[in-house]
Amino acid sequence: MDVSIIGSGYVGTTVAACLADDGHGVVNVDIDEEVVAAINEGHSPIHEPGLDDLLAEHAGGRLRATTDYTAVRDTDVTFLAVGTPSRDDGSIDTSVIEAATRSLGEQLAAKEGDHLVVVKSTVVPGTTDELVIPTLEEELDAPVGESVHVAVNPEFLQMGSAVENFRTPQKIVFGTTGNQWALDQLHALYAGVIETADPAVVETGLREGEMIKYANNAFLASKVSLINDIGNVCKEFDVDAYEVADAIGLDDRIGERFLRSGLGWGGSCFPKDVAAIIAAAEHAGYEPPMLNAAVEVNDLQPERLLDLLADHVDPAGARVAVLGLSFKPGTDDVRGSRAVPVVEGLRERGATVVAYDPVATEKFREKHPDVEVAFADSAAAALDGADACAVVTDWDEFAALDAEFDAMASPVVVDGRHVVERREGITYEGLTW
């Protein structure tokens, strides 16, 4: 099939590369000329394992990028994969998806034949009905459902394993108005993935498709906050929360995934999506106490790490090494990273902060220019002469640190991710164990 994807961020670029690898012809449409040039040169604009290889293989062939919206006319399906960032009150800003939909509608008005518009962006229930469809109809000067059809297909990609997640999904969600042609197009588009991975295929309505993504992320975020709450209790009683989690994870009603207690959740999805569904619920007249509690517990974890560190070293005037800046290993994404409140908290307490991350330093520097922190080019350099160390991201290389701790002025290690082994010669504190 011929596919166009509007937006070339984490989702748009990954989906484009994977669909091209499945044999489809794909064109990315983006307003950022640098991103377009990178894709056409076969380079990923983001750090994601396996993505560079796919772009190198398919760019200039089945995959290309452009800033020209007219490219959508030569395709059968268009994905809307643009950002829906949070407003100050937590609700989503739909201005980008509205603008993208309007530009898309202008082009589809000049196209003959059927076309499927798929909302891949994360939007609260009702957005496709109340914004995307009316905007398309305004530009088309015709009702959606005649030649232009609309569907919702939320993504469940995890940064650091997005390519593998696309290839072997546990579920694929097709939200439609009940339009059989739209369903057939979606099944054809994902035929390769469905045949090889045999995921559950959920056929549902537009609003249900939108809500499934929020429910998925809200549940996982709440699970992390619940195990962190339990972990905080464990710490008070000198109980190893990881041994407890290993045991309760054997119950198939609970499961072991997302039971790693520590600094909490971050990234581009959990913070934004939980805030958005809370804001949407409040707007509808309901205060969701469990989701609000999940956010409260998540916000608490960095403070608990700072308190543990202060039990051993007075932060005022101390040099503190912060290991990890990305919100999780395997990605350079620093959105929602727990490193931000940790670094800011240390600075407020008078510490000098030296930070290191294997891939995310530049992204952190760009996104948080006002955060006062020095950057080291290795974990060893960050630890050299430090009075304390805070482990924020569980990169594998931090688990291999050993002699590097001996170069610290006082080897105090507060581990927020259960990645460093307790050993002689260091004062070790686990956040929840």
Nearest to 323 by CA among 266, 228, 430, 399: 399
Catalytically active residues are: 269
